[in-house]
Copies of this chain bind each other. A is one copy, B any other.
Amino acid sequence: MPVVSPLRIGVVDTRGMNAQSGRTGNLVQQTVHRIAAYIRDEMLRVGDQLPSEGALGERLCVSRTVVREAVRALAALGIVDVGNGRKPRVAAASAFPFIMALAHSTQTGQITVRQIWEARSCIEVKTATLAADNRTEVQAARLLELARQMRDLQDNADAMADIEIEFHQLIAVASRNILFEHLLASFAPLIESASHSAWDIRSTPKDEEEELVKIHLAIAIAIASGDRKGAADAMQLHFDRAIGILIQAHYEPS
């Protein structure tokens, strides 16, 4: 039984709650927080049903319209699932808010590709470490298989890129920390484009390709054998060398 009290979040910073301004907007915002507090206080779990919109409205002394808007905001944030006519249910944590928020920041110039890479490298070194501790036998076997496929497929750029993407996502899943998994998912569109570039248009293809293949094999072997230090070092090397060079060449031409 986890200790509950330190997890209680009484006041959530609402500066970013970009809902409607004015009285109704504030009421919807407050209702969003009060429904989130209800989920917390009742210790609801994924799949548990919330009261109907009418019942929530009575409980929170707000109109059904306000409840409906608040529930929709919570659905957009991945906190509840709603269906036609069904009562809302507590949702499984989702990468969706992370994906949307990061895509927005990137596309509107509020974060650079280099900054996402900074975040990605520190997170992936950690997921490699955790995967060495937590990976299942099936995951270990799949990682090794993917690394060997990379070795055998060096002439097929698209296949290489797809394998590399699966490789990194599998490590995040094997880390068993959903925050890392969701963050990695939010990097995916950028990783995909960088990965396809990497296997496609590098200037000294054979050398660098072979080094990349070797590094992935080293990462897979370290994770499969539970060597957390080896996994972290190999992943760090991957980011320091291959991808560091790539990002400088492709995203930040001087």
Contacts and interface: CB of A to CB of B under 8 A. Distances in A.
A100 B46 CA distance: 15
A45 B109 contact: yes
Contact of A6 (B13, B14, B40, B113): B113
Contacts of A9: 103, 106-107, 189
Interface residues of A, number: 91
Interface string A172-188: 00001111101101001
B77 A101 contact: yes
Interface stretch (A67-75, A137-145, A149-157): A67-75
Interface in A91-114: 91-113
Interface of A is mostly: helix
Contacts of A189: 7, 9, 12
Contact of A13 (B7, B13, B83, B95): B95
Contacts of A101: 77-79, 93-94, 97-98, 182
Contact of A78 (B5, B18, B95, B179): B18
Contact of A104 (B79, B84, B130): B79
A97 B98 contact: yes
Given A73-B76, A76-B76, A46 B110 contact: yes
Number of copies: 2
A179 B96 contact: no
Interface stretch (A51-59, A120-128, A203-211): A120-128
Nearest to A17: B96
A16 B90 contact: no
Nearest to A106: B7
A61 interface: no
B118 A130 contact: yes
A72 B84 CA distance: 18
A115 B22 contact: no
Contact of A179 (B3, B22, B81, B119): B119
Contacts of A90: 108
Contacts of A251: 2-3, 6
Interface in A23-39: 24-25, 32, 36, 39
Given A20-B72, A77-B100, 17 more contacts: A6-B193, A6-B251, A13-B185, A13-B188, A14-B96, A16-B94, A18-B81, A19-B75, A20-B82, A25-B84, A39-B108, A77-B97, A77-B101, A79-B100, A93-B110, A94-B101, A98-B98
